[in-house]
Amino acid sequence: MDSFNRRRFLAGSAATVAGPALRAIAAPAELDAVVVGAGAAGIAAARRLAAAGRRFALVEATDRVGGRCITDTAIFDVPFDRGAHWIHTPDLNPLAKLAPQTGLDIYPAPRGQRVRIGRRNAREGEMEDFLADLVRANRMIADAARGKTDVPCDQALPKDLGVWRPCIDFVLGPFGCGKDLDQVSAIDFSKSAERDVDAFCRQGYGALLAKLAAGLPVQLSTPVTRIDWSGRRIEVRTSKGELDARSVIVTASTGVLATNKIKFDPELPRRQLDAITKLSLGSYDHVAIQFSGNPLGLDKDDLVFEQASDPKTAALLANVSGTTLCLVEVGGSFGASLSDAGPAAMVNFAVDWLAGLYGSEIKQAVRRSHATQWNKEPWALGAFSAAVPGGQFARRTLMDSMHDRVWFAGEAAHETLWGTVAGAWESGERAAEAVLKKLGR
């Protein structure tokens, strides 16, 4: 069974990359660029600047590289992507193309998905109805996006989805965008590139990103607090001193930018501030459960939804890369409220949800569990961006430089691959190319 168009999230990386100690004050003529943030966009930008032989600094607020793309190997005895996991369109994905250089294993994700109706799998006819309604829903959103006025995605949905409406709302909204559909721009949604062919990295997507960062002079645990771009050179103030550069690439999430953690002098123009607000981050978390054996009876990397009756639902990615680790995915407003309730509440919901679909006996097979809380990560403050209704212009605005001196990059600064690691990577490369063009090759 062919899969639907998975508009998914970003987030996940693992190891750290050591760099030389940051000097208290860099000589004004030393740096061509400062790259703020060592997630996918920052790593891509730094690699491009390094390849061009430019002098730059790469500073990261946390104690690791990867941003919202992290592979953890300490919580469980297998790789666990705490953030981004799906490698979308691997034939075109720049990270998948670079993977052979790292020695890590990329393999295709299974096509299709299962749907549970109570404690049984949906029958063939029921699956056909579900997929047909999902296609209709996507088509109606695309039709609405051609109108003169942007509308929320939920207003464009067919009115006759019947029992499949809650499931489709979840698949296209919280699961695909990290937001409920009434909070998602139909135009922004429709610009998202098709993501119906996917792959996984056996060692973790974050591990792949960390490998690609190897050798870069990353300054870890060095948050940027102020960017003064009022003078001839740009002064970047960090917790460990100041850097002077001719240009700056800022890859912080829109969640961080919206909180003014990084102050700008002069302040950001109104249009940039408006774009950041309209590209707010959604909520998307993994509740990871490691079982003894395979009590769910599912195959490697099986994707499962349910014919839900209300928004309190989730998705299941079972037996990740052939292990006994399963990910229960929660998102949107329900996922955010669940995250606010804390990890214990998140795990309880996930186990009860699975028990409702596969029987209460599965509770006895739970070995370990862990819940991510991306909304509470201080240097992320959310999962990934989806433009609010009326915010379809925001990505293009965010991609514009400020006087050819300050550039923004990240998944939010990509019109078709937003919400993906590949989109963040491409935006970082694009910003670095713009910097090189301005500096003169």
Residue 29 confidence (pLDDT): 53
Q: Which amino acid is at 50?
A: A
φ, ψ of residue 63 to 5 degrees: the values are: -95, 20
CA distance 302 to 41: 30
Domain membership of residue 231 (yes or no) is yes
Residue 350, token pair as written in the block: 């996930």
Number of domains in the chain: 1
Does residue 414 sit within a domain?
yes
Look at residue 20 and tell me if it is in a domain. no
SS (H, E, C) the chain: CCCCCCCCCCCCCCCCCCCCCCCCECCCCCECEEEECCCHHHHHHHHHHHHCCCCEEEECCCCCCCCCCCEECCCCCCCEECCCCCEECCCCCHHHHHHHHCCCCEEECCCCCEEEECCEECCHHHHHHHHHHHHHHHHHHHHHHCCCCCCEHHHHCCCCCHHHHHHHHHHHCHHHHCCCHHHCEHHHHHHCCCCCCEEEECCCHHHHHHHHHCCCCEECCCCEEEEECCCCCEEEEECCEEEEECCEEECCCHHHHHCCCCEEECCCCHHHHHHHHHCCECCEEEEEEEECCCCCCCCCCCEEEECCCCCCCCEEECCHHHCCEEEEEEEHHHHHHHHHHCHHHHHHHHHHHHHHHHCHHHHHHEEEEEECCHHHCCCCCCCCECCCCCCCCHHHHHHCCECCCEEECCHHHCCCCCCCHHHHHHHHHHHHHHHHHHHCC
CATH number for the domain spanning 405: value is: 3.50.50.60
> What pLDDT does 155 receive?
97
The amino acid at residue 180 is D
| Domain assignment present for 122 | no
Residue at 377 is within a domain: no
Per-residue confidence of the chain (441 residues) as pLDDT tens digits? 333 333 222 222 233 333 333 333 334 457 999 999 999 999 999 999 999 999 999 999 999 999 999 999 999 999 999 999 999 999 999 999 999 999 999 999 999 999 999 999 999 999 999 999 999 999 999 999 999 899 999 999 999 999 999 999 999 999 999 999 999 999 999 999 888 899 999 999 999 999 999 999 999 999 999 999 999 999 999 999 999 999 999 999 999 999 999 999 999 999 999 999 999 999 999 999 999 999 999 999 999 999 999 999 999 999 999 999 999 999 999 999 999 999 999 999 999 999 999 999 999 999 999 999 999 999 999 999 999 999 989 999 999 999 999 999 999 999 999 999 999 999 999 999 999 999 986
Pairing of strands 33-36, 56-59: parallel
Residue 253 in tokens? 């999430």
Which residues lie below 8 Å from residue 105, measured CB to CB, with a gap of 6+? 201, 202, 203
The pLDDT assigned to 253 comes to: 98
Residue 273 dihedral angles phi and psi, to the nearest 5°: -60, -40
From the number of C-beta atoms within 10 Å of its C-beta (0-12, 13-18, 19+), residue 273 rates as middle
Compute the half-sphere exposure of residue 79: CA atoms within 13 Å on the CB side of its CA: 25
Q: Which residue has the tokens 């050591």?
A: 18
Query: Would you say residue 347 lies in a domain?
Result: no
- Residue 409 in domain: yes
For the CA atoms of 237, 241, 243, 249, the dihedral, rounded to the nearest 10 degrees, stands at -50
**For residue 201, what are the β-bridge partners?**
106
* Domain coverage including residue 213: 33-106+201-280+382-439
Smallest CA-to-CA distance from 171 within 349, 306, 286 is with 306
The reply to whether 63 falls in a domain is yes
**Total residue length of the chain:** 441
Q: How far apart are CA 136 and CA 160, in angstroms?
A: 10
